[in-house]
Structure 1
Amino acid sequence: MSIDASHIRNFCIIAHIDHGKSTLADRLLERTGTISDRDLQEQTLDDMDLERERGITIKSHAVRMQHTTDAGETYTFNLIDTPGHVDFTYEVSRALKACEGAILLVDAAQGIEAQTISNAYLALEQDLEIIPVMNKVDLPVARPDQVAMSLEELLGEPAEDIIKISAKTGEGVDELLDLVINRVPPPTGDPDKPLKALIFDSIYDSYRGSVVYARVFDGTLNKGDAMRFMATHQEYDAEELGVLRLGRQKVDTLKAGDVGYIIGSIKDVSHTRVGDTITHKHNPANEAIPGFKKVKPMVFSGVHPSDTEDFEDLRSALDKLQLNDASLTFEPETSTALGFGFRVGFLGLLHMEIIQERLDREFGLDIITTVPNVEYRVRVSEPGDDDQELVIVNNPSEMPHYGDIDAVFEPFVKADIIVPSEYIGNIMQLCENRRGVYVNQRYLDTERVNLQYELPLAEIVFDFYDTLKSVSRGYASLDYEFMEYRESDLVKLTVLIDKDPVDALSTIVHRDKAYEVGRKLAKKLKEKIPKQLFEVPIQASIGRRVVARETVKAQRKDVTAKCYGGDITRKRKLLEKQKEGKKRMKQVGDVEVPQEAFLAILSVDE
C-alpha cells in the first residue's frame, strides 16, 4: 500500500552517550504499538551484548512506526537511530542526511556535553529541523531550568518552549510524537525523476549477502530493477525490497521519501559504502548525493595472537568482523618479538576497544595489542635528488632512515572540552602538556565552560580521555574532529636491547619529549627483563644518538668462595677468568624479552 509522502516523517535522535537515546527509542516503539509489552526489552534497537552493557549505540539502526493522532490521521515515522560516539561521526552525518528532522536529547541532570554540541552542529549543517528535548526530568538532581537556558543559548529555542520528558517513565512522550508531526517537514522528492537513494548503513547476512539500508530521495525502485552504486561503480539487481519494522517486511516498491532495505546478492560489504548513492543502471541520475567519503582509519595497532598457532584463527575472525564493518582494515605484519600478527586500522580508540572485546568474546581469542599510533606522513629526499617523496607511516618500523627525512607531518584535531569552570586550570595544564594550541573558551552557563584546543591526534589516542576524566573528577566531556596534517619535529625513538633494535618497543615521539620517554621506558624495561649471566644494556636512541641507558646487571657466581686465605693474586686470577668467560658468553648470548616488557610501554607515563 502506497503512503502519501505528506504523512511520512523521517527523523533521528541525537545525544551524548548515556543521555537516554536508546531508552527514548524504546518508549516510541511502545507508544506507537510497534512492539508489544511482552517483546519489549531495554535498548530494543541495540542488538549487541556490548551495546547493552556499555549503554552505547555502536551500529546505527532504523525502524518504521505508525502513529495515529487524536484526529484519526495515521502518520508513518521512520526513526533512524545513530551511533553516539566521536569515532562514528561520519556515520552520524550520513544518518542525519537521510532525515528531515532531529530530536536533540539532553540529560536534565548532566546538561549540554561535548557530543551534544558536535551533533547539533552536524544537524544544522544538514539543515534539519531540530527539536530540543530535556530527558530525565524525574531525577531528583535534574536542573531543567538551567539546562533549558543553555539550550536556548545554543539553538535559539525559547527556554519555556523546550519539551521536558522522562524516557524511563514515558512522561511527555505523547506530546513529543505530536511535536514531530507538527515540526518535522515531510520528505520532498519526485517519484518520477531518475533514482537517487542514499546508503546510511549496511549489514552482512551470511545467507543473503550485504543488506543495504537506504533512504530514497528521488525516483522509484521496483523489485527486480538493475541498480548501480555510484561511488564504487558496482551493479546489482534489486532481488528484494522492504521496510524496516523490528524485522524485515517485504514490499514491491520503494519511492521518494521512503526508508527501507535492499538485498541484491552483494557478496562484499565494501561494495555498499555508507554515504554512497544508488541509482538505476539504465536511467542513472546525473550526479550523486553530495557528502560521500571513504572512511579512513585514524588509529593503528598491531594485533598478535598470544599463541602463534592461533594466527589463522585470528585472520578468520578479522575477516568475519570486516563483513559487518567495512571501516575495519588489516594487513599481515611480522614482529621479531611478537611473531606473526596483523596491523589493524581503527576509526578511533572506542572502535579499537570494541574490536578487541569482540575478538575475545565472539571468537575466544587471546590477543596481544601493541601501543596504538596514528598515521604519519613523512617527506623524504634522496641525496643529490631534488624530487621529494611523501611516505605514509602507520608503524614506527616503517619510519625512513633518520638522515633521509626532510619533514614529518602528523594529524591534528580540533577538540571541544566541556568542563565545570573550577577545573579549567587542570584541563589547560593537561592540554599544554600534550602540545595543545589554545583556540577559544566560551561559557555555556555560569558553571560550565567550552574549551577549544587544537591537539595532535597522537597525544590523545592513548590515555588522554582517562587523564581528562581524572583531573576533572569525571565531569569533563570530550569531542574532537580531524582538521589537517601539520609539520612537527617528530623522531623515531628506537629501543635497543643488548645492542639489537626491538621494533615492537620503538615509538614515534616529539623531539622535546624523546629524552623523558626514553628514560622512563629504559627504566621500566630494566625492571621487566630478567637477569642473564652477562650484562644487558638497554638503550633508547634517536638515529645513532643514545638518549637514555639502563643496564641489567649480570647474574654472577661467587668464584672466590673457595678461596679461604692466601695471596690476593689467586682471587684476581679467578675473577679475570670469569670476566673472559662472560665476554665469550655475550658474543653468543641471546636475550629473551618477556611479554611483560612489551606491556611496559603502555604504562610508561605512570
Structure 2
Amino acid sequence: MNVNPNSIRNFCIIAHIDHGKSTLADRLIEMTNTVSERDMKEQLLDNMDLERERGITIKLQTVRMYYKASDGIEYELNLIDTPGHTDFNYEVSRSLAACEGALLLVDATQGVQAQTIANLKLAQEQNLTIIPVINKIDMPNADAQSVMQELEELDGINLDKVILASAKSGVGVDNILASIIENIPAPKGDQEKPLQALIFDSHYDVYRGVVLHVRIFNGSIHTGMKIKMLKSDLEFEALQVGVFLPAMKSVDALMAGEVGFISTNIKIVSNVKVGDTLIDPNQPDTEAVPGYKEVKPMVYAGLFPIKNEDQEKLKDAVEKLSLNDSAFIYKQENSMALGAGFRCGFLGILHMEIIQERLEREYGIEILSTFPSVEYRVTLKNGEMLSVNNPMLLPSFEKIAYIEEPFIDAAIIIPMENIGEIMELCQEKRGIYVDMVYLNNKMAELTFKLPISEIAYNFYDSLKSITHGYASIDYRDRSYIVSDLVKMDIWLNDEIVDAFSFILPRDKSFERGKQIVQKMKHVIPRKLYPMPVQSVVENKVIAREDIPPLRKSVTGRGYSGSASKKKKIAKNIKENKIRQRKFGGVDIPQEAFHAVLDIH
C-alpha cells in the first residue's frame, strides 16, 4: 500500500532524565489506540527490567501510531523514544537523525535542566521543528509560569507553541497530537529516487538474525530486495520488511519518509554499523545520510568471566550486546591475573554498570570488571605519540616526555545556595573554572573543564547529594590537557596484578597508594602464609601492608603426640607454606576491585 508522504510525521521526545518521556509515550500510544487496553502497561517502550527498576530509558524504542485528525485525514506518526541520562546522549543523536521534529518536554516542578538545553541544541543542529511541552502541571508544586520564563530565555523557542500538559493524567495530550500534525513538517523524501536509508539502531534476534531499524529518506525497500551497506560495503537480501506497532509486524514495503525494520539473517553482528547508509547496489554513487554523530567512548574497562568455561559465552554475549547497543565497543585482551577477556569502551560509568548487569541477567555470566580508565595521549621522548586506554600499555616512565588527559566542558545547573559547595567539589576533582551564568533568581549554570578520569565515578551522585537532587549536568566538547600523571601498580604476593593498575595525578599517588594497600589487607582472602600487598609508582614501593596468614596449629594445645612427632609435623607445615607461597595462586574477589574504585 502506497502511503502519502504528506500524512507522515516522524518525531521524538527529548528531555532531561525523569521529566516524563516514557509516560507521555504511553499516553500517545493509548490515545491513538495503538495497543489494546488489555496489553497496555506503564512504561510500555521501556521493555528491559533494568529500565523499569531504575526508572530510566536506556535504549531508544520505535513505535508507529495512526491518528485521525480533525481534518478527517489519518496520519502515520512514527515516534522514536530517547533516553534522558547524559551517558546516553549518543542514543539521542541517533533518534534526532531519523526525525523532522521533536517534543521538548520540561517538568513543571523542576524547570529547564542541563540535559534539556543539551538535547535542544542537538535538535537545533539537525534543524528539527521544536514543540515545547510543560509536563506535570497537575503536581502540587508545579510552577508553569516560571518554566515559561525559563523557556523564553532559550534560543529558538516559540512561546506561542508551548503546550501545558500532564502525561500521567492525559491533560493536554490531544493538543500535543494536534500540534505534531500542524507544526512538524512531512518528510521530503522521493520514492522514485535511488534508495537512501539510515540505520539508526539495530538488535539481534535468534530467529531473524540482525534486525536493522531504518528511516527511509529516498526510494523504497521491499521484501526480497538486494541492499548494500555503504560504509561496510556489505550486500544482503531484505528477508522481511516491517514496522513497530510496537510489536514487529510485516509489511510489503517501506516507502520514502517511513520508519521500520529490515530482517537480514546476517549472523556476524560485527558486520553491521549503526549510522551506516543503505543503498541500492546498482546505484553505488548514492551519498551517505548526513548529520550522524559518531560514538565516542568516555571510559574503558576490562570485562572478564569469573568462570573460565564462560569465555566463549562472554564473547558471544558482547558481540550481541554491541549490536543492540552500538555505543558499546570492545576488543579482546588478556590479563596475567584474570586470563582472557575484553577491553570495552563505554559512554560513562552508568553505561558500564548497565552493560555489566545485562551480561549477568540476560546471558547468565558472572563478570569481573577492572578499574575504569580513560584514553590518554602519551608523547614519548623520541616524538612518537600513542593513545592509551589500558594502564598496562603505558610505556615505562623513562620513555615518556609528557601525558595529556581528556577534559570535558561540564555545564552544571544548580540551585544558587549550592554554588560554593559545587565549586569546591569541582576544584577537588582538579576542575578548571570557565564561567558562571545566573539563569534566574533560583538557578545558576557553572561551566568547568573537568578531567574525565575524576568525574567518571561517583561525581554525579555527589552533585545530587549536595543539591538534594536538584543538580543536573551535561558534558560538552572534549579536549586534551597536559597533566603530571603516573601509573600505580599493585603487587600482591610479590606479583603484579595488572588488572589493578591505574593512572592518577602524581600529587595524589602517595595517599591513594596507602589507602589501597590498607583496604586490600581486609578484602583479599587469607592463605596459610603471609602475603605482602604493595603500591608501586615508577619502580618505587610507596606503601606496603602484609595480609596475615590463617592460624591453625595441629601441634598446639590438646595434641598428645611425642615431641619428635610434633617437630616433624611442624617441619612439614613450614615446607608446605613455602611451596604454597611459591606456587599458589591468589583468588581476587570482585570486592577488591570495588575497594579500589571506592578509594578513587
TM (normalized to structure 2)? 0.89
2:53 & 2:581 partners in 1: Cα distance?
A: 54
1:589 & 1:199 partners in 2: Cα distance?
A: 53
SS in structure 1 at match of 2:72: coil
Q: Does 2:407 align with 1:416?
A: no
Q: What displacement does 1:378 show?
A: 2.0
Alpha-carbon spacing, 1:25–1:506, altered in 2? closer, same or farther (3 Å) = same
Q: Does 2:19 align with 1:3?
A: no
Q: Does 2:380 align with 1:396?
A: no
Alpha-carbon spacing, 1:531–1:209, altered in 2? closer, same or farther (3 Å) = closer
Q: Does 2:73 align with 1:73?
A: yes
Q: What displacement does 1:590 show?
A: 6.5
2:579 & 2:230 partners in 1: Cα distance?
A: 65
2:188 & 2:583 partners in 1: Cα distance?
A: 75
1:459 to 451, 454, 460: 454
Alpha-carbon spacing, 1:369–1:557, altered in 2? closer, same or farther (3 Å) = closer
Q: Is the 8 A contact 1:195 1:285 kept in 2?
A: no
Q: What displacement does 1:444 show?
A: 2.2
2:440 to 434, 439, 445: 445
Alpha-carbon spacing, 1:308–1:128, altered in 2? closer, same or farther (3 Å) = same
Q: Is the 8 A contact 2:518 2:545 kept in 1?
A: yes
Alpha-carbon spacing, 1:54–1:498, altered in 2? closer, same or farther (3 Å) = closer
SS in structure 1 at match of 2:182: helix
Q: Is the 8 A contact 1:15 1:105 kept in 2?
A: yes
Paired residue type of 1:521: I
Cα deviation code 1:213-237 (max 9, x no counterpart): 2112223334433222111111122
Q: Is the 8 A contact 1:203 1:269 kept in 2?
A: no
Aligned to 1:234: 234
The within-5 A match list for 1:486-497 is 486-497=481-492
Aligned to 1:325: 325
1:485 to 480, 483, 487: 480
SS in structure 1 at match of 2:19: coil
Aligned to 1:126: 126
SS in structure 1 at match of 2:514: helix
1:40 & 1:27 partners in 2: Cα distance?
A: 10
State the superposition RMSD in angstroms.
3.0
Aligned to 1:298: 298
Q: What displacement does 1:603 show?
A: 5.2
2:538 to 535, 543, 547: 543
Q: Is the 8 A contact 1:269 1:324 kept in 2?
A: no
2:450 & 2:271 partners in 1: Cα distance?
A: 34
SS in structure 1 at match of 2:446: strand
Q: Is the 8 A contact 1:98 1:215 kept in 2?
A: yes
Aligned to 1:570: none
Alpha-carbon spacing, 1:306–1:530, altered in 2? closer, same or farther (3 Å) = closer
Q: Is the 8 A contact 2:93 2:292 kept in 1?
A: no
SS in structure 2 at match of 1:495: strand
Q: Does 2:101 align with 1:101?
A: yes
Paired residue type of 2:541: V
SS in structure 2 at match of 1:388: coil
Q: Does 2:503 align with 1:525?
A: no
1:189 & 1:340 partners in 2: Cα distance?
A: 48
Cα deviation code 1:11-58 (max 9, x no counterpart): 111111111111111111111121221111111122211122222222
Q: How many residues align?
A: 583
Q: Which moves more between the two structures, 588-597 or 371-380?
A: 588-597
Paired residue type of 1:174: D
Aligned to 2:260: 260
1:63 & 1:584 partners in 2: Cα distance?
A: 66
Q: Is the 8 A contact 1:23 1:43 kept in 2?
A: yes
Paired residue type of 1:274: V
2:417 & 2:311 partners in 1: Cα distance?
A: 50
1:44 & 1:31 partners in 2: Cα distance?
A: 14
Aligned to 1:194: 194
1:585 & 1:3 partners in 2: Cα distance?
A: 78
The within-5 A match list for 1:575-586 is none
2:599 to 577, 592, 605: 605
Q: Unaligned stretches of 5+ in structure 1?
A: 382-386, 563-579
Q: Which moves more between the two structures, 51-60 or 140-149?
A: 51-60
SS in structure 2 at match of 1:474: coil
SS in structure 1 at match of 2:317: helix
1:264 & 1:535 partners in 2: Cα distance?
A: 58
Cα deviation code 1:124-158 (max 9, x no counterpart): 11111101101111111111111111111114546
Q: Is the 8 A contact 2:269 2:320 kept in 1?
A: no
Alpha-carbon spacing, 1:525–1:6, altered in 2? closer, same or farther (3 Å) = same
2:531 & 2:39 partners in 1: Cα distance?
A: 64
Cα deviation code 1:294-339 (max 9, x no counterpart): 5343322222333444434433433443342344333444434444
Alpha-carbon spacing, 1:14–1:407, altered in 2? closer, same or farther (3 Å) = same
Paired residue type of 2:239: E
Q: Is the 8 A contact 1:279 1:285 kept in 2?
A: no
Q: Is the 8 A contact 2:90 2:327 kept in 1?
A: no
SS in structure 1 at match of 2:99: coil
SS in structure 2 at match of 1:214: strand
1:239 & 1:584 partners in 2: Cα distance?
A: 65
2:314 & 2:414 partners in 1: Cα distance?
A: 41
Paired residue type of 1:142: A
Identity of aligned residues (%): 49
Q: Which moves more between the two structures, 288-297 or 99-108?
A: 288-297
Q: What displacement does 1:395 show?
A: 1.9
Q: Is the 8 A contact 1:231 1:276 kept in 2?
A: yes
1:590 & 1:214 partners in 2: Cα distance?
A: 54
Q: Is the 8 A contact 2:330 2:343 kept in 1?
A: yes
Aligned to 1:571: none
Aligned to 1:384: none
1:380 & 1:367 partners in 2: Cα distance?
A: 35
Paired residue type of 1:442: V
Q: Is the 8 A contact 2:368 2:590 kept in 1?
A: no
Q: Is the 8 A contact 1:534 1:585 kept in 2?
A: no
Paired residue type of 2:247: G
TM (normalized to structure 1)? 0.88
SS in structure 2 at match of 1:351: helix
1:365 & 1:297 partners in 2: Cα distance?
A: 23
Alpha-carbon spacing, 1:277–1:309, altered in 2? closer, same or farther (3 Å) = closer
Paired residue type of 2:418: Y
SS in structure 2 at match of 1:94: helix
2:578 & 2:366 partners in 1: Cα distance?
A: 39
1:13 & 1:60 partners in 2: Cα distance?
A: 10
Q: What displacement does 1:372 show?
A: 1.3
Alpha-carbon spacing, 1:513–1:582, altered in 2? closer, same or farther (3 Å) = farther
Q: Does 2:358 align with 1:358?
A: yes
1:378 & 1:535 partners in 2: Cα distance?
A: 38
Q: Is the 8 A contact 1:521 1:604 kept in 2?
A: no
Q: Is the 8 A contact 1:420 1:476 kept in 2?
A: yes
Q: What displacement does 1:551 show?
A: 5.0
Aligned to 1:407: 402
Alpha-carbon spacing, 1:465–1:209, altered in 2? closer, same or farther (3 Å) = same
Q: What displacement does 1:432 show?
A: 0.9
Alpha-carbon spacing, 1:585–1:136, altered in 2? closer, same or farther (3 Å) = same
Q: What displacement does 1:371 show?
A: 1.6
Q: Is the 8 A contact 1:525 1:600 kept in 2?
A: no
